[in-house]
Structure 1
Amino acid sequence: MTTPFDDLMAHARETAALEQVAGRLGWDQETVMPRGAAAQRSEEMAAMEGVLHARRTDPRVGDWLAALETDTLTAEDLAQVRLIRRAFDRATRVPARLSAEIARVTSRAQGIWAEARAADDFDAFAPTLAEVVSLKREEGAALSNGGDVYDAMLQDYEPGITGNELDALFGRLRPRLVALREAVLARPPAPALTGVFDEAAQMRLSRKVAGVFGYDMKRGRVDKAVHPFSSGSGQDVRITTRTAPTDPFNRLYSTIHEVGHAAYEQNVDPRYLLTPLGSGVSMGVHESQSRIYENQLGRSRAFLGWLWSEMRDAFGDLGLADEDSLYAAANGVHRGYIRTEADEVQYNLHILLRTDLERALISREIEVSDLEEAWNRRFEADFGYAVDRPSNGVLQDVHWSVGLFGYFPTYTLGNVYAGCLHGALRKAVPDLDAHLAAGDLAPATDWLRDKLQRHGGLREPLDTIAAATGEAPTEEPLLAYLETKFGALYGL
């Protein structure tokens, strides 16, 4: 005879398996789905969401939770229960009709956004975005139960964080980031790669680099997409990247970034497969893995010494004199509009802009009809020059089209967490640079796997970082790292 816990976990595993199927539909839509299939796919996504919502709100889940004998459960069992209870409580607040409609509209909106972006026509996307915002406001109101709507939305991505805590953190980050940006941009610009770089050679090198960073291609694959992403968990974790013929860094670093996400999912303890503990604990912690892979490791002087030879073998002349020039080019700070191409100094300023705008949208301080003007005004105030076209501004990110309100701030949280992890990693592996210079990422990725990735959702986000580093996370390690690195690069 099974126990309530056995029944609860069996139900959770089947739900997780169906969620993976739904995720595969999303991956297909972004990579190989025929353009003419968009309307049908939106119906398929809505139908799948209806099935998932019914499972997530199944009254038996409440009955099993109520019948649990918690004194017989292990610490891991209790962590499973904590996450199941949280998900059940949230799912039961959202009507099935609303959940399915959000899936339907956001699936359709994704294609409309992509076409509007290609045409540089925000007006073509605005009515659909208004639908998405209206639905997400309704969902947020249901989740908040009378509290702050944006705070409720944040819990889907970073459980435990509040808008006020973000305000305080961002308020501490902004002055030093702005000061560093201004100081760096007052110096002579960094050298740059020149030439046209064969796309097939870019793909071969990006696949090799993915393997160097520990990505298991037997349980994954690399494809192209407009907006790079990682999808799946456990034994099927896929990534996408993109190509810029004159900028191989674009592909290389988007690949390394997504490998950080994918490695987290691939390295979770196999015992947690298809359970609530079987994925990354939060998007902030997830982002810490992609950012430390991409930046503190992938853009380090030591690793770029190894990459210099690999790029010369792949492309021939790079238009640069030596390894030091490649390091400077890979870390160049320059004017630009695109978040995903932003350097480490300016990246978080992009996130602060988006977070403030989406909070204003959700709270009705602004409407979608005001969004493009609000974006352009804020960008010019923060970066000192005007947005030239919508694809470089309000249309550049996919997130709002698919309803990911509350997601953007986790990028900066991930950078903060990565700063903390990098400091702890350097202490644990004092000869790290020697390994990086040899193209040996194993000491770093093994440490991250053992200290953080294998635990999946076992601990809450802040506890996950504290357990890995031995200290509560703060923004200071990130700021010190940025000021030291870019101060040396630009002679500040």
Structure 2
Amino acid sequence: MTQGALADLLAYQSVTEALAQVSGRLGWDQETVMPRGAAHQRAEEMAALEGVLHARRTDPQIGEWLAALDGADLDPVAAAKVRHITRSYARNTKVPGDLAAEIARVTSRAQGIWAEARSNDDVAHFLPVLGQVIDLRRQEGAALADGGDTYDALLNDYEQGATAAEIGAMFGRMRERLVRLRERILGANKPVAGLSGTFDEAGQLRLSHMMAEHFGYDFRHGRIDKAVHPFSSGSGADVRITTRVDEGDPFNCLYSTIHEVGHGCYEQNIHPDYALTPLGGGVSMGVHESQSRIYENQLGRSRAFTGWMFDQMARVFGHGGAADADAFYAAVNRVHSGYIRTEADEVHYNLHIMMRFDLERALMSGDLAVDDLEAAWNDRFHTDFGAKVDRASNGVLQDVHWSVGLFGYFPTYTLGNVYAGCLHQALRAAHPDLDAQLAKGDTSAATGWLRENVQVHGGLYEPAEIIKRACGFTPDEGPLLDYLDHKFAALYDL
């Protein structure tokens, strides 16, 4: 009875997982190559598919199979699969099907409206549909919370077990040290120049492809395209990433690529036996971000790797955009109060996240009205970064997340940085000669360690557990903050 129920449940779930991949592919298409005039139809397509998925995820037969498996002696892999399905079933049965479909419909439409508003710096064009998204997500959060905290219910979609109170407390501890480090850097009176010159799109995309290969991205099962906001999509045998190009700033393209390669490699390297099962994707967005952030920062922005990257820039463009490899390393890691989160240096990045975390909590609770969001953003940015936002695309319209309903997602970026700090400490202990390899553009020791200790496991373990197993200690913010202090003290002669 138990084995039959398990086999039937997993066969049913495999079809659901396959349909979810199709939905993800529609989202990828929408943000890369879909004709602009297809937005309305795509919204209906997404809503229709979400209706099918929601019906499958809430089918009473799942409850019967789970009841038959209750208390069964399952091996660890099967037990983990059942754990995920149980959690998904409990979550989805709380959300009405028509609400799930309407969220899919409105967020698909909102993404296109956001892209138009961003290109025209027109906040007023976006706010009405944002209000609809927030209202729908509040309804969903209330259904999921079942009398508890609405924001926590949404946060748990991205980081199981996390609470806003715990994350807020961690952010408070981090903020003090980050602000102190920033003040020391800015007070050091050591200006660092950015890159100079023009870097054509074709050359940047060639380098982007090269960087992806050197970090282990498998182009037999992936591809790179351009998007307004870089992202990764898919799992298993079809994992796609995107980047963007600014001919005056090649770092935008190169580090967006490396970041998304971190996400992509996580999905590509999950054990193949887990494909189209609940274990076949990254276990949480915090763990996912740990991979993208350690690829991008601790590895990609290291002195060793940037020395190699400088040489590749010179081969492609005839110059590296800086006087020498040391100047290039300094430019890669230049600390400045920029507007754009995805382009932020490591000192400022988490301050960007903390701002968004506070604003979205206020939006979801109703303490901040949608019509007041731009003013609240601009005031907070001026307070935190000491600069006035010059246009909406550099401010409240820069991120795609709220348009597609990802409330509760932003804090996982900083949680990912915290996890990355812990993983980096353990990685360096395991490979003390890592810099010698990175200086040759060889990331295989680092990416291999991450593959074996994190990526291959997919959803087998809970988020904090997988980091603890890899590092040998319970994750906290200390290793990340120590790494930042050490790195930037050396860079700025503090």
The TM-score, its normalising length taken from structure 1, stands at 0.99
Offset at residue 65 of structure 1 (A): 0.1
- CA deviations 1:323-375 (Å, max 9, x no partner) are 11111010001121100010000000000000000000111111101111111
The alignment status of 1:382 with 2:384, answered yes or no, reads yes
Give 1:175's aligned residue: 176
- CA distance in structure 2 between the partners assigned to 1:279 and 1:397 by the alignment: 24
Letter in 1 for 2:462: E
- Alignment partner of 1:3: what SS? helix
- State percent identity of aligned pairs: 67
Offset at residue 71 of structure 1 (A): 3.5
Letter in 1 for 2:32: T
- CA distance in structure 2 between the partners assigned to 1:487 and 1:481 by the alignment: 10
Letter in 2 for 1:165: E
- CA distance in structure 2 between the partners assigned to 1:426 and 1:318 by the alignment: 28
- CA distance in structure 2 between the partners assigned to 1:8 and 1:319 by the alignment: 56
Structure 1 runs of 4+ aligned residues shifted over 3 Å read 69-72
Letter in 1 for 2:4: T
Give 2:219's aligned residue: 217
- Alignment partner of 1:402: what SS? coil
Q: Are the aligned partners of 2:337 and 2:348 in contact in 1 as well (CA < 8 Å)?
A: no
Give 1:425's aligned residue: 427
The alignment status of 1:243 with 2:245, answered yes or no, reads yes
Give 2:487's aligned residue: 485
Offset at residue 70 of structure 1 (A): 4.2
Q: Are the aligned partners of 1:106 and 1:403 in contact in 2 as well (CA < 8 Å)?
A: yes
- Alignment partner of 1:334: what SS? coil
- CA distance in structure 1 between the partners assigned to 2:121 and 2:165 by the alignment: 34
Give 2:288's aligned residue: 286
Any residues of structure 2 matched to 1:46-61 within 5 Å, and which?
A: 46-61=47-62
Letter in 1 for 2:481: L
Letter in 2 for 1:451: N
Q: Are the aligned partners of 1:195 and 1:318 in contact in 2 as well (CA < 8 Å)?
A: no
- CA distance in structure 2 between the partners assigned to 1:39 and 1:256 by the alignment: 33
- CA distance in structure 2 between the partners assigned to 1:210 and 1:119 by the alignment: 32
Offset at residue 194 of structure 1 (A): 0.6
Offset at residue 193 of structure 1 (A): 1.0
- Alignment partner of 2:21: what SS? helix
- CA deviations 1:100-125 (Å, max 9, x no partner) are 00000000000101111111111111
Offset at residue 192 of structure 1 (A): 1.7
Give 1:314's aligned residue: 316
- Alignment partner of 2:402: what SS? helix
Give 1:405's aligned residue: 407
Offset at residue 191 of structure 1 (A): 2.2
- Alignment partner of 2:225: what SS? strand
- CA deviations 1:117-152 (Å, max 9, x no partner) are 111111111111000000000000000000000010
The TM-score, its normalising length taken from structure 2, stands at 0.99
- Alignment partner of 1:399: what SS? coil
Q: Are the aligned partners of 2:337 and 2:386 in contact in 1 as well (CA < 8 Å)?
A: no
- CA distance in structure 2 between the partners assigned to 1:240 and 1:71 by the alignment: 43
- CA distance in structure 2 between the partners assigned to 1:334 and 1:15 by the alignment: 46
Give 1:436's aligned residue: 438
CA RMSD of aligned residues (A): 0.9
Moved more, 186-195 or 59-68: 186-195
Offset at residue 443 of structure 1 (A): 0.3
Any residues of structure 2 matched to 1:199-278 within 5 Å, and which?
A: 199-278=201-280
- CA distance in structure 1 between the partners assigned to 2:168 and 2:185 by the alignment: 25
Q: Are the aligned partners of 2:228 and 2:244 in contact in 1 as well (CA < 8 Å)?
A: yes
Give 2:64's aligned residue: 63
1:190 alignment partner, one of 173, 179, 192: 192
Give 1:470's aligned residue: 472
Give 1:130's aligned residue: 131
Give 2:460's aligned residue: 458
- CA distance in structure 2 between the partners assigned to 1:115 and 1:189 by the alignment: 37
Give 1:445's aligned residue: 447
- CA distance in structure 2 between the partners assigned to 1:322 and 1:268 by the alignment: 39
Offset at residue 69 of structure 1 (A): 5.7
- CA distance in structure 1 between the partners assigned to 2:248 and 2:192 by the alignment: 17
Letter in 2 for 1:149: T
- CA deviations 1:57-97 (Å, max 9, x no partner) are 01000000001164431011111111100000000000000
- CA distance in structure 2 between the partners assigned to 1:389 and 1:155 by the alignment: 33
Give 1:84's aligned residue: 85
Letter in 1 for 2:66: L
Letter in 1 for 2:156: Q
Q: Are the aligned partners of 1:157 and 1:407 in contact in 2 as well (CA < 8 Å)?
A: yes
1:324 alignment partner, one of 322, 326, 330: 326
- CA distance in structure 1 between the partners assigned to 2:321 and 2:75 by the alignment: 59
- CA distance in structure 2 between the partners assigned to 1:54 and 1:146 by the alignment: 24
Gaps of at least 5 residues in structure 1 are: none
- CA deviations 1:240-293 (Å, max 9, x no partner) are 000010111110000000000000000000010010111100000000000000
Corresponding pairs, count: 492
Q: Are the aligned partners of 1:304 and 1:323 in contact in 2 as well (CA < 8 Å)?
A: yes
- CA distance in structure 2 between the partners assigned to 1:416 and 1:73 by the alignment: 33
Moved more, 362-371 or 42-51: 362-371
- CA distance in structure 2 between the partners assigned to 1:261 and 1:306 by the alignment: 23
- CA distance in structure 2 between the partners assigned to 1:14 and 1:70 by the alignment: 25
Q: Are the aligned partners of 1:194 and 1:319 in contact in 2 as well (CA < 8 Å)?
A: yes
Give 1:3's aligned residue: 4
- CA distance in structure 1 between the partners assigned to 2:387 and 2:411 by the alignment: 23
- Alignment partner of 1:276: what SS? coil
- CA distance in structure 1 between the partners assigned to 2:321 and 2:88 by the alignment: 53
Give 1:155's aligned residue: 156
Give 2:113's aligned residue: 112
- CA distance in structure 1 between the partners assigned to 2:61 and 2:369 by the alignment: 40
